[in-house]
């Protein structure tokens, strides 16, 4: 299933999915976004795959969506009534999350460089996250409400989650590890080796047992209310996207004036854009 933009390699029971747009810091297109989940689905029944690594080629894991191609997961106020957009967005994002949440294999995100918007959301859906200690993790939303809401109160505490979301903060990989947002932060030059070592250790365990352990942990999150939080956060995000504030920023971004759109977004947080 490998393509120019997404690469899949399987060896020693480890599947590695690589976002392959290094010149664009792995900004994702619609084709790439759907392709990531298609690849994960294709690995479900493979007995030769016990663990999956999700990584990005080049300097960054993923800086979000391609500004030259609005993602189909974003709602539009002109296409259909708001309630239809809310339902459409919920169905698509819920299906994406379910692919990763229900995959029998543990999924490890390997992050470096800049990481924000849907790139950050993608990494947060993985079972384990290993970061370069100098990675730049930026919390900035186009819609005013983030899908991260359904994970962060449990992972880093509700007060810290609110702080990051309210202020549009940028933290390093090292800080993310200290918060519990990621499992570990290591020097960039050791990132590949460290992630591979973890994957190799996991791969020694039969995938049937890994699937049971993963399911048991996920069921605990389910019982704590994560599915309900997802239901509401997806609806809130859709409404946020349809707000006039979000629409004005997105119109700038997707009409070719993406730099101006980013500036408009960042002015809300009184902060400079991440470099």
Give the list of residues 6+ apart from residue 256 with CB closer than 8 angstroms, or none.
68
Q: Are 123 and 115 in contact (CB under 8 A)?
A: yes
pLDDT above 90: residue 224 = no
Above 90 in pLDDT, residue 145? no
This prediction's pTM: 0.84
Question: 3-state DSSP call for residue 196?
Answer: helix
* pLDDT for 272 beyond 60: no
| pLDDT score, position 274 | 44
Instruction: Taking residues 26-33, report their average pLDDT.
Output: 90
3-state helix, strand, coil in the chain (%, to 5): 50, 15, 35
Q: Rounded to an integer, what distance in angstroms lies between the CA atom of residue 193 and that of residue 81?
A: 49
What is the pLDDT at residue 273?
Answer: 46
- Can you list the alpha helix ranges (DSSP code H) found in 64-149? 82-102, 118-124
Q: Enter the tokens of residue 182.
A: 């990621």
Handedness of CA 203, 152, 35, 66 (dihedral sign): negative
CA–CA separation, 37 vs 257, rounded Å?
Answer: 30
pLDDT score of 275 = 39
Dist. CA 168–CA 39, nearest whole Å: 32
Question: pLDDT above 70 covers what percent of the chain?
Answer: 72
Three-state SS for 204?
coil
Each residue of 64-108: pLDDT tens digit?
888 777 555 454 545 566 667 667 666 766 777 889 989 999 999
Spatial separation of the C-alpha atoms in residues 64 and 67, rounded to whole Å: 9
CB-CB contact of 54 with 110 (8 Å): yes
Environment class of 234 (CB within 10 Å of its CB; exposed 0-12, middle 13-18, buried 19+): buried
271, 171 Cβ separation under 8 angstroms: no
| pLDDT digits 0-9 by tens, 231-261 | 777 667 666 666 666 666 666 666 665 566 5
Q: Report the share of the chain in percent with pLDDT over 90.
A: 50
Q: What is 131-189 written as a DSSP string?
A: EETT-EEE---SSSS-GGGGTHHHHT-HHHHHHHHHHT-EEEHHHHHHHTSSSEEE-GG
* Strand partners for 78: none
From the CB of residue 3, how many other CB atoms can be counted at a distance below 10 Å? 12
pLDDT for the residue numbered 196: 98
Characterize the bridge pairing of strands 14-19 and 6-11. antiparallel
Determine the Cα–Cα distance for residues 109 and 186; give it in Å rounded to an integer: 13
Q: How is residue 118 annotated by DSSP? A: H
């Amino acid at each position: 299933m490998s393509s120019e933009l997404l690469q899949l390699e399987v060896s020693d029971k480890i599947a590695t999915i690589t976002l392959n747009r290094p010149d664009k810091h792995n900004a994702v297109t619609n084709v790439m976004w759907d392709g990531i989940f298609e690849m994960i689905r294709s690995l479900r029944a493979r007995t030769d795959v016990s663990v999956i690594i999700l990584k990005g080629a080049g300097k960054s894991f993923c800086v979000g969506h391609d500004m030259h191609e609005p993602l189909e997961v974003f709602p539009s106020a002109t296409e259909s009534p708001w309630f239809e957009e809310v339902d459409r967005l919920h169905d698509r994002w819920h299906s994406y999350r379910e692919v990763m949440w229900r995959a029998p294999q543990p999924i490890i995100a390997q992050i470096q460089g800049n990481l924000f918007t849907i790139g950050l959301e993608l990494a947060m859906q993985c079972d384990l996250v290993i970061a370069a200690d100098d990675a730049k993790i930026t919390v900035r939303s186009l819609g005013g409400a983030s899908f991260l809401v359904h994970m962060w109160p449990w992972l880093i505490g509700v007060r810290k989650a609110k702080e990051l979301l309210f202020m549009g903060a940028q933290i390093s990989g090292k800080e993310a590890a200290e918060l519990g947002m990621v499992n570990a932060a290591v020097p960039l030059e050791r990132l590949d080796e460290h992630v591979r070592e973890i994957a190799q250790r996991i791969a020694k365990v039969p995938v049937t047992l890994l699937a049971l352990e993963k399911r048991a942990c996920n069921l605990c999150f389910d019982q704590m209310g994560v599915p309900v939080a997802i239901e509401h956060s997806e609806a809130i995000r859709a409404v946020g996207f349809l707000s006039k504030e979000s629409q004005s920023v997105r119109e700038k971004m997707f009409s070719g004036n993406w730099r101006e759109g980013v500036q408009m977004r960042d002015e809300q947080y009184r902060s400079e854009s991440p470099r």
